[in-house]
A and B are shown apart, each in its own frame.
Chain A
Amino acid sequence: MFKQKLLIGLALAVSLVFAGTAYAQTLKIGLKSEPSSMDPHYHNLTPNNMMALYVFDRLILQDSKQNLKPGLAVSWKNVDDLTWEFKLRSGVKWHDGSDFTADDVAFTIGRAPNVPNSPSSLGRYIKQVTGVEVVDALTIRMKTAKPFPLMPTYMSTFGIISKKTGSGATTADYNSGKAMNGTGPFKSVEWVPGDRIVYKRNENYWGNKPEWSDIIVKPLSNNSSRVAALLAGDVDMIDFVPTADIETLKKNDKVSISQTVSNRVIYLHIDTARDKSPFVTDINGKPMDKNPLKDLRVRKAISKAINRKGIVEKVMEGVAIPAGQLLPDGFFAISPNLKVEPYDPEGAKALLKEAGWGDGFGLTIQGPNNRYVNDAKIVQAIAQMLTRIGIKTKVDTMPKNVFFPRGSKLEFSLMLVGWGAGSGEPSSPLGSLLHTYDKSKGFGSSNRGRFSNAELDAALEEALATVDRKKHGDLLIKATEIGINNLGIIPLHFQVNTWATRKGLKYDARTDEQTLAVGVKTAN
């Protein structure tokens, strides 16, 4: 009797050991930010869009360098200037076992822009679609009012949901898991807000099957805690490794680092529009009726006064790349003519003198202190550099929840901001930051310096209506060159995205800052 019990106990112990090896296929990820919902269309913001990708495929996917690749659509083309046709992948099953068809795509197009109470909707990427035509079960056509070259890019921004499950489903149904029926590489298991998100591998996935049978995502917003959790083995991988810790982690033989340049440019926005700018003073700090920032030579002087290499090496600890335009090399429509402005304080002083500001003037630079990597320190460094050429610069940093509303109300003269091009091409920063502020056309919504140049506007608008890819790209390059040469913004550097994993894992580092479990592999 006793022996029998012992045997059973032994068997149990053995099965536990095997359970242990299966457990090794679990990937635990510690992330800086947490999504506000599981609904793929509720909140159009990176943490939400990223987590949605685990469960919901898109028509078109972006690879780790943001090049478009087939997703649920295997091919796409212009039937005519105003019609895009998408051929859909056959044999794709929803997690509940039903077939994926064009009706699901049409249903998604109708739902995604219209989620009730959405604080940021996907309408931006869908409103160009004036009509949807389901040709057959695996072919769908989308009509536009104008030629629309960005259609494939925009179709890579939102997840496709099932018509069957999605009909009548609310955001709450997605949060509870009831409506979480996708075609993606992982099935949703549970979401405990603030604590964890759990996924299971979709064994019937149409694409490359991920290595991990189970995924646990933990929100770890504090930088030091996130690093500690990795070192303690609580998680296998973390995103947004603080720059100060990267060198130490590189020396740690239990940790690997994966890095790539980001699509996020850090830049200065300048009040180029008003004659009287709120934070421009004379050299003695008295308010002034003239705004020297309107003068291109003064802006040029500011750009020359900034030691980008110094900022990258000293402030960013080498984890950034000096910038001369809106997106780093390797992206679509990069100008070959734009170079990083060299550090030239003497040239800057000469330019100031030429512009009639040889005695200098006073200025305040504003920036956030909890939004971008080392943001407040960069602002301080720039203020010192500007003061050195005679522009007496004060520093004012604030939390992002104060900074952005004030910036949008045009309360600043010179500010540090960042822009991540989610679309992976320059029309997004051109349209939002450099095109003339134009409410009716929907341009310039983040143009906080109100830069305005008719030539740039024309080039960009033409580009956005040119379907020919080569011509489209050339026009974007032209618009970029006008904007940068006129210093509508002053680019500083591109961030470098850094992930840390436990030794033995490798992450296919993404330019768009997203952490996707499908990109994590065991390195052999």
Chain B
Amino acid sequence: MQSGLVLLVMSLLVFVGVFAIGNPVDILINPDADQAEIERAIKALGLDKPMWEQYWIFLVNALQGDLGRSFVFNIPALQLIWQRMPATLELAAFAMFLAIFMGLPLGMIAGLKPGSWIGRTIMTGSILGFSLPTFWVGLMMILLFAVYLGWLPASGRGETVDLFGVPVSFLTLNGLSHLLLPAINLALFKLSLTIRLARAGTREAMLMDYVKFAKAKGLSNARVILVHVFKNIMIPVVTVLGLELGNVIAFSVVTETIFAWPGMGKLIIDSINVLDRPVIVAYLLMTVTMFIVINLVVDVIYSLLDPRVRLGDLKS
């Protein structure tokens, strides 16, 4: 119910916003076109009707699952987004994988040995990851690994193979080499975030009574850290990364543009550039839905990780 309202408000805002910027036909049409042709195009795209009527038509169609056709491609907006989604999801998943599987151990090491040189090195690295702008790091990585060293390709997606009917690139060497740079670029910020969260969590947990108790019980150091500490630091990590995952999927615009990655981020920025309203609206509606779902999933994972959440639910 609440979610439905959010979607409605969202669609109205975007609709009005794009309408206020101007008429897409002015950008889509060949400058050579005469007035009659301009009028024909405006009519063909349904832009001759007043705004409220256009919105009404959109709403009626949207309730039947049709979010309109792209002005530019003349393809249903949703289909266009689905086409580009696998590339983005793959990139996002790979980036999150890097962030988690490198970030957690590094963060825990930094948390266990905060004063050591290794701990300090990791923390300095994470500051860099936080503060350097993505597009700059991306370009520098291209310059270093593609132009000077020639180890990896500079852009594009490379070979794909179909996995359950979805084209993926991580299964071929060529595809993987294309995936690596953009994924690292995208992962850098999340990696730093994971390191910081894991470090803070570890430092806090190490002072807790249950850790002292476990140690006193004579459990091995490894078991204390890998089971007891690990579980407890996961709660903030899951929360933040859950939301970050949404961000990575919906707004990896910069990385996708620099690496010419054929995903949704590039689609949305291109669509905004030519005021392709059906695609913009559909995209943002989908994004909102995705965030709602992710929040739900995060809540579920919580209750798996932390028995107290489940107990709390029972009591209320």
Contact = CB atoms under 8 A, between A and B. Distances in A.
A234 B146 contact: yes
A221 B257 contact: yes
B260 A218 contact: yes
Contacts of A42: 74
A405 interface: yes
A110 interface: no
A160 B168 CA distance: 37
B274 to A, nearest CB: 6
B214 to A, nearest CB: 51
B26 A408 contact: yes
B212 interface: no
Given A195-B156, A234-B156, A119 B34 contact: no
A442 B147 contact: no
A241 to B, nearest CB: 15
B207 interface: no
B273 interface: yes
B25 A123 contact: no
B40 interface: yes
B56 interface: no
A11 interface: no
A36 B44 CA distance: 17
Interface string A411-434: 000000001101100001000100
Given A44-B30, A195-B156, A233-B150, A124 B139 contact: no
User: Interface size for chain B: under 10, 10 to 19, 20 to 34, or 35 or more residues?
Assistant: 35 or more
User: Interface size for chain A: under 10, 10 to 19, 20 to 34, or 35 or more residues?
Assistant: 35 or more
Contacts, number: 169
B192 to A, nearest CB: 24
Nearest to B44: A117
A401 B44 contact: no
Interface string A206-236: 0000000000001111101100110111100
B94 interface: no
Given A228-B146, A234-B154, A445-B34, A120 B260 contact: no
Contacts of A218: 155-156, 260
A37 B73 contact: yes
Contacts of A193: 73, 83-84, 262
Contacts of B260: 218-222, 225, 229
A121 interface: yes
Contacts of B259: 225
Interface string B169-186: 000000000000000000
Contacts of A432: 31-32, 34
A118 B27 contact: no
Contacts of A370: 273
Interface string B86-120: 01000000000000000000000000000000000
The listed residue with most A CB atoms (<10 A of its CB), out of B36, B74, B157, B274, is B74
A120 B84 contact: no
B8 interface: no
A123 B153 contact: no
Interface in A16-51: 36-37, 42-45
The listed residue with most A CB atoms (<10 A of its CB), out of B27, B32, B258, B274, is B32
A402 interface: yes
B272 interface: yes
Contacts of A120: 25, 28-30, 33, 37, 41
B1 interface: no
Interface string B48-87: 0000000000000000000001011111000000011001
Contacts of A234: 146, 153-156
A43 B29 CA distance: 8
A225 B258 CA distance: 6
Contact of B74 (A37, A44, A225, A408): A37
The listed residue with most A CB atoms (<10 A of its CB), out of B24, B154, B259, is B154
B35 interface: yes
A276 interface: no
Contacts of B72: 36, 43, 119
Interface string B2-34: 000000000000000000011111111111111
A225 B154 contact: yes
Interface of A: 36-37, 42-45, 116-121, 123-124, 171-172, 175, 192-196, 218-222, 224-225, 228-229, 231-234, 370, 399-402, 404-409, 419-420, 422-423, 428, 432, 439, 442-443, 445-446
13 contacts: A45-B28, A45-B30, A117-B45, A118-B74, A120-B41, A124-B32, A193-B83, A193-B262, A221-B270, A229-B154, A401-B24, A404-B22, A422-B30
Q: What 9 pairs between A and B have smallest CB-CB spacing?
A: A405-B22, A442-B34, A194-B262, A232-B146, A195-B262, A232-B154, A119-B28, A120-B29, A404-B26
